[in-house]
Amino acid sequence: YHMESILPDDPDEVPHRGRLNRAIKESLRDLGAQLSLLNHSVGTRLDLKATDLECLDLLTRDGPLSPSTLARRAGLHPATLTGILDRLERGGWIERGRDPSDRRGVVVQAARGRGAEILRLYLVDSGMNTAMDQICAGYEDKDLQLLTGFLRRTADAARTAAERLTAS
């Protein structure tokens, strides 16, 4: 199904709540697919895999992290993460260091300066930043606040769902 097939043809006709829910879910599925394709394109340009980009994103947002914490947040087996970290370190994307709170422990962080390379591809070279600015310009502040809340709650629900699947 595409959104057009779920929503009524007449824009003045108010769709049933179930159809609206299905349209939102379908739109989120499409968004996920399109963002996955964008990630693939960025990864191809940088010679990085999707999981590499996901780990770098987690490290950029939440790092530095221990390898075990990163593995848990990324939903990866620790042995799988070791290979990813080795590859990222060889490429100059991450740095490993001692955990300041436990000198025996190791933490991983995104290498300084390399994040700009990734952001440039996502936001500038792809045109995504300009497109997002244009999309947001079409909404009132209250609408953007509503959308922000919806997307945060949706991300939290996805995180919880992934944790449930990982735990079982």
Q: Which of 160, 16, 36, 101 has its CA nearest to residue 7?
A: 16
Q: What is the pLDDT of residues 81-113, one digit of tens each?
A: 999 999 999 999 999 999 888 888 899 999 988
- Amino acid 7: pLDDT: 56
Total number of residues shown for the chain: 168
Query: Cβ–Cβ contacts within 10 Å for residue 52, how many?
Result: 20
∠108-113-114 over CA atoms, to 5°?
70
6 — pLDDT class (breaks 50, 70, 90): low
Query: Cβ–Cβ contacts within 10 Å for residue 95, how many?
Result: 17
* pLDDT exceeds cutoff 60 at 5: no
Q: What is the pLDDT of residues 45-88, one digit of tens each?
A: 999 999 999 999 999 999 899 999 999 889 889 999 999 999 99
